[in-house]
Each structure stands twice: as C-alpha cells, then as structure tokens.
Amino acid sequence: MSDNNRLRIAIQKSGRLSKDCQDLLKQLGVKLNLREQRLIAHATNMPIDVLRVRDDDIPGLVMDGVCDLGIVGENVLVESQAERAAQSLNAEVTKLAKLDFGYCRLALAWPQELGQLPLSWFEGKKIATTYPEILKQYLKNQGINASTVLLSGSVEVAPRAGLADAICDLVSTGATLEANGLLQGETILESNACLIQNPSMDNQQKQALLDTLLPRLKAVRQAKE
Ligand code: PRT
Ligand code: ZN
C-alpha cells in the first residue's frame, strides 16, 4: 500500500532530462536505489518516492495530485496546460523553480532554399509540430491562419516528406535543422526544465520535508553561479 505521507516526485524515466534530474535529487541529499525497470524508486534516507515516467505524463500526474512534485520541460508543461484547459480539465500547478538544465527553444523552421521569410508567408500553410496548442496560440496572436499537423517524432523530415510546408520544433544546437536543410526562424517559446508542485498538497509532513528541500535547491543553484 502506498504511504500518503511520502512525498512523490515524478521525473523522466529515460531521455534528455533523466540524468540531470537524478543528479539534482542526489545534490539535494535524496538517496535513491534506481533499478532500471522500476516505475517507483523509494528514497532510503527520507520519505520520498520517485516515479519514473515519460515526460509527457508528468504535468498531468502533478495536476491530478498523483504526484506532489514533478520535473519537466516548460515546453511540455505549457502544451499540456493548454491541452487540458481546452478539455476543461484542471491545469493548475505551482512553478517552484526554473532549473539550470534542459534549455531549448521552440522555433519555426522552413526549407532553407526559401531563404528568409516574413511571418505572413505562413498564411494558409501547413506546419508540422509536436506542440500544436502552443503553436495555435502563437499563430492566433500573430493573426496568421495556418493549419497544424501533429507529429510526435521526426518533425524535421515533414517538409521533405511532403507532409507540411514548415515545422515548429525544439532546437538546441541547431544541428538537426541544418542536417535536414531547414532554416531557423522565429522563436515561439524558450524553455528550461522546471520544478512544479500540485497546488493543493495538503499534508504537514510533506510540506515540512519540502521546506527542507527548497533551501537546499537554492544553495545548489547558488553554488553553480
Ligand atoms: O520518452 P519521453 O517522452 O520521456 O521523452 P521525449 O523523447 O519526449 O523527450 P526528450 O528526452 O527528447 O526531451 C525531453 C525534454 O528535453 C524536452 O521536452 C525539452 O524540454 C528538453 N530538450 C532540450 C530537448 C532538446 N533540448 C532537444 N534538442 N528536447 C528535444 N530536443 C530534440 C528536438 O526535438 C530535435 O529533434 O533534439 C533535436 C534538436 O536538437 P539540436 O541540438 O540538433 O538542435
Ligand atoms: Zn515525451
């Protein structure tokens, strides 16, 4: 049976944020016995359980109160909040800290043979993305009518494959865009990993533990500056 007094933290199981999340928990003094296939890892020195899941599931787990805390990219958080709001589901979280890893930007890109393009070029075009809600909101704010094509991977091949005219995807070094003959345009969102909390966590023991962890997090971040 699960112990309701244990603080539950959701992190990415395997991917770009996993190692940094595990390192951060270690720096906060959380001792974990991470066995590869386990969904839940119990801390051995404090009442903390770490759930290792796909990053896309993290905002929902925190919003629904299944987990008290989560570490996730702001890109995934903002998309998930917009998606849930559209379905009239609770989309509230408290952002406790912006973390110093997972930086990337969500940007528009198009075939480089088209050269520099004004935003008005996108009118009536098809844009492939994994982040349709963020993109739709951006296009609406800019007064552009374009359609979105949802792809959960390999977004960068969409123009070449004839699936879309352009893309809106995450970029860090720009190497993927370059390798696919795409030119980077407008940045729609800048993103870092962040620590989020369920706003209705109502448990004194968990709160007391969180109150000891947050100053440690601050100290870890200051030590890096
Ligand atoms: O399996 P799961 O669903 O958990 O993982 P995932 O495959 O959805 O995510 P993952 O592990 O790739 O990324 C997790 C998070 O890392 C993202 O949500 C971002 O917050 C952050 N992040 C930081 C990035 C990048 N940098 C990044 N460069 N996520 C993805 N990319 C991809 C991008 O989509 C593109 O394909 O890397 C490619 C571009 O990189 P560059 O360096 O060539 O520009
Ligand atoms: Zn994912």
4-13 core/surface letters (b: 16 or more CB in 10 A; e: else): eebbbbbbbb
pLDDT of residue 225: 80
Residues with CB under 5 A from ligand 2 (ion): 55-56
Q: What is the mean pLDDT of residues 23-41?
A: 89
CA 44 / ligand 1 centre spacing (Å):
31
Q: What is the mean pLDDT of residues 126-133?
A: 98
Sign for the pseudo-dihedral over CA of 69, 72, 77, 79: negative
1 pLDDT above the threshold of 60: no
What kind and span of H or E run contains 12?
strand 7-12
Q: Where along the chain do its domains lie?
A: 7-102+192-224, 104-190
Looking at the CA of residue 72, tell me the nearest atom of ligand 1.
20
The residue ranges of DSSP E strands in 36-163, in sequence order, are 40-42, 48-53, 69-73, 94-98, 104-111, 126-129, 147-150
Alpha carbon nearest to ligand 1 atom 22, residue: 102
Looking at the CA of residue 13, tell me the nearest atom of ligand 1.
4
Looking at the CA of residue 54, tell me the nearest atom of ligand 1.
4
CA 205 / ligand 2 centre spacing (Å):
32
- Pocket lining for ligand 1, CB < 6 angstroms: 12, 15-17, 54-56, 73, 75-76, 102, 104, 169-176, 191
Domain 104-190, CATH class in plain words: alpha beta
ipTM field: 0.99
- Dist. CA 88–CA 132, nearest whole Å: 17
CATH 3.30.830.10 fits 7-102+192-224, yes or no: no
User: Would you say the CATH fold of 104-190 matches that of 7-102+192-224?
Assistant: yes
37 pLDDT above the threshold of 80: no
Range in 19-23, 95-99, 132-136, 217-221 with the lowest mean pLDDT: 217-221
8 Å CB contact between 41 and 35: yes
Q: What is the mean pLDDT of residues 58-79?
A: 98
